Amino acid sequence: MNSASSSTAFMLLLRRDLILAFRRRSELLNPLLFFVLVTAMFPLGIGADPVLLKAIAQGVIWVAALLASLLSLDAMFRSDFEDGSLEQYLLSAHPVSILVLAKVLAHWLVTGLPLLIIAPLLGVLLDLPVDSIKVLMLTLALGTPVLSLIGSIGVALTVGLRRGGMILSLLVLPLYVPVLIFAANAVETAAAGLPITAHLSMLSGLLVLALSLSPLATAASLRVSLS
Amino acid sequence: MNYEKTDNSMTLVGRDLECIRDDRVLFSGLDFVLGSGQTLLLEGRNGSGKTSLLRILCGIRLPESGAVTWGGEDIFSLGPVYHEHIAYVGHRDGLKLDLTPMENLAMARGLGNPNPDTSPGDALHRVDLLGFEDIPTRNLSAGQQRRLALARLLVTRSQVWILDEPFTSLDVHGIELAEELFHEHVSMGGMLAMTSHHAVNLGNARVHKINLSV
C-alpha cells in the first residue's frame, strides 16, 4: 500500500470517529462537565480568598484536566474492541500505527480541545491574571495531546481486561506526572515574571516524543491485547 | 472482480501448527496448503480450536509453534503486505451500529485494498440490502447485519476470505446468497477458509476438510 492511500485511510477513520462522537453527543459532555465541576468545587471547599485561589489555580486546573482526560480514555478503544472493529484495524492493509494516530487525534479533538476552550473561563473563576491564562492555554495546548497519546498505550494494554479501569490509572498516571510538573510550573514561573522557554521546550519535546513513539507502542499493545 | 494484481500461483501454507489455550493443546502438527480456487473447511466440536486456527491464519494470533506462509514468506514478517490480500469476518461483525450501512462499507473499503469494480452500493445490492443505505445499522435485524458484514468482503479486493461461522443468524435465503458469493469468489481464483456448523454447498469447488476433533 502506498502512503497516499494510507493518508486516505487516516482521514477516513478520523472523519468516521468524529461522526460517531457527534452521534453520541451526550457522552461527549462527560469529561468537560467533570473538568468544570471539579474546578468550580475548589472555591467552595477552601474559601473564596483571592490570594489563595490565585496561588493554587494553575495546579487545580491542570489536575482537573488530567483527571478528565483519564476519565475519557477508556472510550478510545472500548467500543471498537466490543464490536470487532479493532480486529479489522489490525487486519488493515495500512500500518496500524497510522490508524492509531487517527483514533488518538479524533479522541483529542473530542475530549481535549473542549477543555482547552473552556479553561480561560475557569481561569477567570479562580482569579488568574490574563497573562497567566495565556500561559495556561499554551501549556494545555501542548500538554493535553501528550495525555491522549500516552493514555492510548495504557488503554490498548487494558482493553481486553474486564475491569481495566484501576490498572489503567496505575499505568498511565505516573507517565502523566512530567507533563503536570512542567505545565503547572510554567504558569507559576510566568506569574513571577520569569521566562518559561525551558518549560515550553520541555513540553514540546514531550509532545514530539509521544507523537513519534506512542502510536508504535499502542499498535503493538493492541496486538498483544487481541492475541 | 478480478485479481490482476495478485498472482494465482500464490498459496497460503500452514506448517506444523500448534495451538495451546489455557494449558490445553487444541491441535498440534497441523499442516495444510490452500491454493487459488480452493476452500478450507474447518470442522470440529465447540472449543476444538476452529476460531483460534482462523485467527492464526489472519495473523491476529501467534501459533505456539509452526508458521503460516503466504507465497513462501511468513505472514508475520509480511504484516500489512499480507493483510492487503485477506478479508476476515469473525464472530463479531466489526460494524459500527451508529453508522449507516454505506458508511460502514466506505470505512471497510478504505481500510483494505479498494475494489475498483464494486462500490459500497453494488455490494449492498449483492447482499440484498438495497433500500437500507441510510438507516442506522443498529436498526437492522441480526441477519441483515450479518449480510452487511459479508458485504464487507466485496468492497475490497482480497484473494483470501477468512470466515468464522458466516451463516450465523442468516435465514435460508441469506445462506443461499452467501453460498453464491463464496462460489463466485472461489471460481474466480479466490481462496476461502471457513468454519461452519451448517452443511455448505459450494458446488463443484475443491474443498479440503480439516477436522480438529480427531
Instruction: Lay out the sheet containing B73-74: strands in order across.
Output: B24-34, B12-21, B65-70, B73-74
pLDDT for B44 equals 87
**Helix A3-23 to helix A96-107 angle, to the nearest 10 degrees?**
30
Under an 8 A CB cutoff, do A93 and B107 touch?
no
Nearest chain B residue (CA) to A18: B99
pLDDT for B4 equals 45
The span from the CA of A103 to the CA of A211, in Å, is 13
Confidence of residue B5 (pLDDT cuts 50, 70, 90): very low
* Number of residues in chain B: 214
The span from the CA of A43 to the CA of A115, in Å, is 19
Residues of chain A positioned with their CB less than 8 A from the CB of B88: 87-88, 91
Q: Give the N- to C-terminal CA distance of chain A in Å, as an integer.
A: 24
A:B CB pairs within 8 Å = 84
Identify whether the C-beta of residue B189 lies closer than 8 Å to the C-beta of residue B21: no
pTM: 0.91
pLDDT for B46 equals 87
Q: Residue B71 in 3-state DSSP?
A: coil
Task: Please indicate if any CB of chain A lies within 8 Å of the CB of B19.
Answer: no
Question: Which of A22, A85, A88, A96 is best to mutate for the B interface (most B CBs within 10 A)?
Answer: A88
The span from the CA of B65 to the CA of B108, in Å, is 32
pLDDT for A127 equals 87
C-alpha cell at B50: 476452529
What is residue B7's DSSP assignment?
Answer: -
Task: Please indicate if any CB of chain A lies within 8 Å of the CB of B101.
Answer: no
pLDDT for B17 equals 92
- Given the cut 0.85, state whether the ipTM is greater than it: yes
C-alpha cell at A88: 479489522
pLDDT at B194 over 60: yes
Show which residues on chain A lie within 8 Å of chain B, measured between beta carbons: 1, 5, 8-9, 12-13, 16, 19-20, 23-24, 79, 82-85, 87-96, 99, 223, 226-227
The span from the CA of B95 to the CA of B108, in Å, is 9
Which residues have CB under 8 Å from B110's CB, separation 6+? A8, A9, A12, A13
The residue type at B121: G
Give the DSSP H/E element, type plus range, for residue B160: strand B160-164
Under an 8 A CB cutoff, do A93 and B58 touch?
no
Question: How many C-beta neighbours within 10 Å does residue B170 have?
Answer: 19
Q: What are phi and psi of B13, to 5 degrees?
A: -125, 130
Identify whether the C-beta of residue B103 lies closer than 8 Å to the C-beta of residue B85: no
pLDDT digits (tens, 9 = 90+) for A83-129: 999 999 999 999 999 999 999 999 999 999 999 999 999 999 998 88
- Region A156-184: mean pLDDT is 90
pLDDT for B8 equals 64
Q: Residue A148 in 3-state DSSP?
A: helix
Percent of chain B at pLDDT above 90?
A: 59
Give the nearest partner residue to B94 out of A20, A24, A83, using CB atoms: A83
List alpha helices for chain B, DSSP H: 50-58, 75-78, 80-83, 101-111, 120-126, 142-155, 172-187
Confidence of residue A161 (pLDDT cuts 50, 70, 90): confident
Q: Which long-range contacts (CB under 8 A, 24 or more apart) does B98-101 make?
A: B98/A20, B98/A23, B98/A24, B98/B136, B98/B137, B98/B138, B99/A16, B99/A19, B99/A20, B99/B136, B99/B137, B100/B133, B100/B134, B100/B135, B100/B136, B100/B137, B101/B129, B101/B132, B101/B133, B101/B135, B101/B137, B101/B140, B101/B148, B101/B151
pLDDT for A1 equals 55
Instruction: Name the residue ranges covered by the structural domains of chain A.
Output: 3-226
pLDDT digits (tens, 9 = 90+) for B131-177: 998 999 999 999 999 999 999 999 999 999 999 999 988 999 999 99
Give the nearest partner residue to A92 out of B92, B93, B112, using CB atoms: B112
Question: How many C-beta neighbours within 10 Å does residue B177 have?
Answer: 17
C-alpha cell at B28: 498440534
What is the DSSP annotation of A27-78? HHHHHHHHHHHHHHHHHHHH---HHHHHHHHHHHHHHHHHHHHHHHHGGGTH
Sole residue written with cell 468550580: A40
Under an 8 A CB cutoff, do A83 and B95 touch?
yes
What is residue B119's DSSP assignment?
Answer: -
Q: How far is B158 from chain A (nearest CA, A)?
A: 10
Q: Closest Cα to residue B1, out of B200, B192, B181?
A: B181
Q: Residue B116 in 3-state DSSP?
A: coil
Separation in Å, CA A102 to CA A7, A107, B170 = 10, 9, 34
Nearest chain B residue (CA) to A25: B98
